[in-house]
């Protein structure tokens, strides 16, 4: 065997010999500022309510939400994405709690802003599914279909009340055609050019949302396949991306993250705006369940999935492990 050439002269294992060596040559690094914490706040409860399908995650009270926000801030997390869960009796066909200034989400935004000011980005889910009695992300027409343009009118109102409550960033997540442009216009009309829009650009109709439905006490009847994207498609996502950017999106997102790393990579390669990915409830629950049974090493599995999402091109990651991982990284 010759001393030079591809073998045995080339030995990539030299760069894997120790933790110090592997750390030095790592191509992808996680940082606390990469993370955004999704959090649920439930109206009318005096204690946090555990979510059975998501061990370790709760529906917060207003007070416990403020504590969670401070904890995330102290860990170095960049933002908190808020989801409001109104009392069941307040839900209706139009999702009225979503535009009520005293609706639970708007109250929670004010609470968290009062607690953290501008040190932690307060982000709000801009969608109707948590507030409608039918559980869809929009207004239904007389045939029971989601009415795109009637829904946009509701989104415009939601954007304004969320901005008034103090949201730094709004996240229109319903996958209605034209939603980013309508939200941007609505914010600008009230002089809130400072509020950023995180576009849910590629939000797929996924089986992995299951635990989230419990988290927001969803009343969904049927499915969302007529507005969320078909898991078989990627060119469609790039078309949605072009439209969102044209309509004024400040940031774009792919959801779910893990099953759609190829989509995430395509999106990240195509844009010059920040790209986020949402590691959703089912992704979280699978690892927690497998770890509980001893089938995977919990911490390693968490870090591996998050590293994969960042490696694929996400600048920011929404994950229910945000605070925990940020604390360990620090």
Q: Which residues are annotated as a binding site for Mg(2+)?
A: 240
What residues contact 94, with CB distance under 8 A and at least 6 apart? Answer: 128, 132, 139, 154
Assign residue 173 a region (left: φ > 0; alpha: ψ between -120 and 50; beta: otherwise): alpha
Is residue 84 within 8 A of residue 132, CB to CB? The reply is no
Residue with tokens 């919990």: 298
Cα(150)–Cα(177) distance, integer angstroms: 11
* Strand-pair category, 49-50 with 58-60: antiparallel
Give the H/E segment covering residue 72: helix 62-75
Q: Which residues are catalytic?
A: 203, 255
Q: Any idea of the CA torsion for 152, 156, 157, 163, to the nearest 10 degrees?
A: 150
Q: Which two tokens stand for residue 91?
A: 């839900």
Q: What angle do CA 286, 290, 291 make, to 5 degrees?
A: 115
Q: Which two tokens stand for residue 228?
A: 């969320």
Q: Any idea of the CA torsion for 113, 106, 319, 128, to the nearest 10 degrees?
A: -160
Cα(93)–Cα(91) distance, integer angstroms: 7
- Where is the binding site for 5-aminolevulinate, in residues? 213, 224, 281, 320
- Where is the binding site, in residues? 213, 224, 240, 281, 320
Q: Which two tokens stand for residue 281?
A: 């409830």
Give the count of alpha carbons within 13 A of 136, CB side only: 23
Cα(132)–Cα(224) distance, integer angstroms: 14
Residue with tokens 């929670």: 108
3-state secondary structure at position 299? helix
């Amino acid at each position: 065997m010759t001393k030079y050439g591809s073998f045995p002269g080339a030995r990539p294992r030299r760069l894997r010999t120790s933790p110090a060596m592997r750390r030095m040559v790592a191509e992808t690094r996680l940082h606390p500022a990469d993370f955004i914490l999704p959090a649920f706040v439930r109206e009318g409860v005096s204690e946090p309510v555990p979510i059975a399908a998501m061990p370790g995650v709760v529906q917060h009270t207003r007070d416990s939400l403020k504590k969670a926000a401070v904890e995330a801030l102290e860990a170095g997390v960049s933002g908190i994405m808020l989801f409001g869960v109104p009392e069941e009796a307040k839900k209706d066909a139009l999702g009225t709690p979503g535009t009520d200034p005293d609706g639970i989400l708007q109250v929670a935004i004010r609470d968290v802003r009062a607690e953290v000011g501008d040190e932690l980005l307060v982000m709000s889910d801009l969608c109707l599914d948590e507030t409608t009695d039918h559980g869809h992300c929009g207004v239904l027409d007389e045939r029971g279909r989601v009415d795109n343009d009637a829904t946009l009118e509701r989104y415009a109102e939601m954007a304004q009340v969320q901005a008034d409550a103090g949201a730094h960033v709004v996240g229109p997540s319903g996958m209605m055609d034209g939603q980013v442009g309508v939200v941007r216009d609505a914010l600008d009309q009230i002089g809130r050019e400072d509020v950023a829009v995180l576009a849910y650009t590629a939000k797929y109709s996924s089986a992995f949302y299951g635990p989230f439905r419990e988290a927001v006490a969803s009343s969904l009847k049927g499915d969302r396949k007529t507005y969320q994207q078909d898991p078989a498609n990627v060119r469609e996502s790039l078309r949605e991306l072009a439209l969102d950017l044209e309509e004024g999106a400040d940031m774009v997102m792919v959801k779910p993250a893990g099953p759609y790393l190829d989509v995430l990579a395509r999106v990240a390669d195509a844009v010059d705006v920040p790209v986020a990915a949402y590691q959703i409830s089912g992704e979280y629950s699978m690892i927690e369940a497998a770890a509980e049974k001893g089938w995977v090493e919990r911490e390693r599995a968490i870090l591996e999935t998050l590293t994969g999402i960042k490696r694929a091109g996400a600048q920011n990651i929404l994950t229910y492990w945000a605070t925990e991982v940020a604390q360990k990284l620090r």
